[in-house]
Amino acid sequence: MSETVGFIGLGAMGGPMAGNLVKAGFEVRVYNRTASKAEALVAQGARRVSLATEAVRPGGLLVTMLADDAALEAVAGEDSGMAEQLGFGGVHLSMSTVSPKTARHLAELHARAGAAYVAGPVFGRPDAAAAAKLWICLSGPREAKARVQPLLKAMGQGSFDFGEDAGAANVAKLAGNFLLAAAIESMAEALAMAERNGVDKGAVAEMLGRTLFACPVYQNYGRAIAQQNFQPAGFRLALGLKDLKLALETARTAGASMPVGELVRGRLEHAVVKGRADWDWAALALGAFEGE
């Protein structure tokens, strides 16, 4: 029989990820602050619990997929009792995009309770989560990473191991999200230039996505920018701003410079002021078209 897995955080990403664990045969205990978000999973066979700590068994497995550092700290930080509930041999697989500092702090907290913290932030939007096609960055204790492999296989198409430093996977994830945002900004500037010169921006986006930049990022985001299709959001702009701020903080802490990151953060902040926080983060491209 497969292990029991606690899953906390049933949003646009967490819901389908937990659903894939149910499909894979795990006994899944689910918790979400808004309890109604668990209903579809209960219908699939998951068990809903009323407290976060009730999602895990001593020595068991916990997966969290939460919006930010504060939400993760609330569920698994010093005052939550979660590390103690996991106890000796327990493993917490944190798949949220958070700061490396938070990951390292929680790793220490878990270790004091005899549990292990594994960072596993993901690349992919809700459709990829539903299709179990996520790419997963991984870091943490070797034995704990081995134990969560069946979970990773149920939720993703592959993982990349960045060693035992709990913060390393989050550094890699923030690097990737920075590059995504920078690509969106670059595409926006190029397509705005084309449009101002009377050239169809959709045709330019299609050409670039089939030739020089023949990859999903340029193809999908290029199409969205050209069509200005930013709703509904696959990844909310407010969360993109959160990630850019984390990337810049991580760079500053290490003495690295990210001038492009500063520019993109400005675009995202301006978009929030414009009321676009809940739009897809590709809407940062509108700054280039609006000449702001």
Question: What is the Cα Rg of the chain in Å?
Answer: 20
> Contact, 169 vs 120, CB < 8 A?
yes
Burial of 225 (0-12, 13-18, 19+ CB in 10 A): buried
pLDDT digits (tens, 9 = 90+) for 150-194: 999 999 999 999 999 999 999 999 999 999 999 999 999 999 999
Question: Which residue is it, tokens 């149920």?
Answer: 154
Tell whether the model's pLDDT for residue 28 goes beyond 50. yes
> Can you give the pLDDT at residue 201?
98
C-alpha torsion sign, points 65, 66, 72, 74: negative
Burial of 63 (0-12, 13-18, 19+ CB in 10 A): buried
* Mean pLDDT value of segment 56-60: 96
Q: Distances in Å between the alpha carbon of 36 and those of 19, 177, 263?
A: 15, 30, 39
CATH H superfamily, domain 4-164: NAD(P)-binding Rossmann-like Domain (3.40.50.720)
15 secondary structure, DSSP code: H
For CATH 3.40.50.720, the residue range(s) in the chain are 4-164
Question: Which residue is it, tokens 């990022």?
Answer: 217
pLDDT digits (tens, 9 = 90+) for 278-287: 999 999 999 9
**What is the number of alpha carbons within 13 Å of residue 75 lying toward its C-beta?**
27
> Contact, 64 vs 76, CB < 8 A?
yes
> Can you give the pLDDT at residue 3?
87
> Can you give the pLDDT at residue 160?
98
Tokens at 106, concatenated: 């929680």
31-39 CB contacts, 8 Å cutoff, 24+ apart:
31/6, 31/7, 31/55, 32/8, 37/10, 37/11, 38/10
Q: pLDDT band at residue 291, thresholds of 50, 70 and 90?
A: confident
Tokens at 52, concatenated: 């976060």
| Strand 4-8 with 27-31, pairing | parallel
Displacement of CA 176 from its chain's centroid (Å): 11
> Can you give the pLDDT at residue 130?
98
pLDDT digits (tens, 9 = 90+) for 117-163: 999 999 999 999 999 999 999 999 999 999 999 999 999 999 999 99
> Can you give the pLDDT at residue 292?
67
45, 47, 43, 35: which is closest to 10 by C-alpha? 35
Which residues are registered as beta bridge partners of 116?
91
Buried b / exposed e along 36-56 (16+ C-beta atoms within 10 A): ebbeebeeeebbbbeebbebb
* Mean pLDDT value of segment 29-41: 95
For CATH 1.10.1040.10, the residue range(s) in the chain are 171-290
Helix spans in the chain (H): 14-23, 39-44, 69-76, 82-86, 100-112, 126-130, 142-147, 149-155, 168-196, 201-210, 216-227, 237-253, 259-273, 286-290
Tell whether the model's pLDDT for residue 1 goes beyond 60. no
Region 171-290: CATH code: 1.10.1040.10
Dist. CA 25–CA 186, nearest whole Å: 43
Question: Which residue is it, tokens 């504060």?
Answer: 70
Q: Which of 37, 101, 133, 173 is catalytic?
A: 173
pTM: 0.96
* Mean pLDDT value of segment 11-22: 98
**23 annotated active-site:** no
pLDDT digits (tens, 9 = 90+) for 67-124: 999 999 999 999 999 999 999 999 999 999 999 999 999 999 999 999 999 999 999 9
pLDDT digits (tens, 9 = 90+) for 205-226: 999 999 999 999 999 999 999 9
* Mean pLDDT value of segment 254-277: 98
**What is the number of alpha carbons within 13 Å of residue 187 lying toward its C-beta?**
33
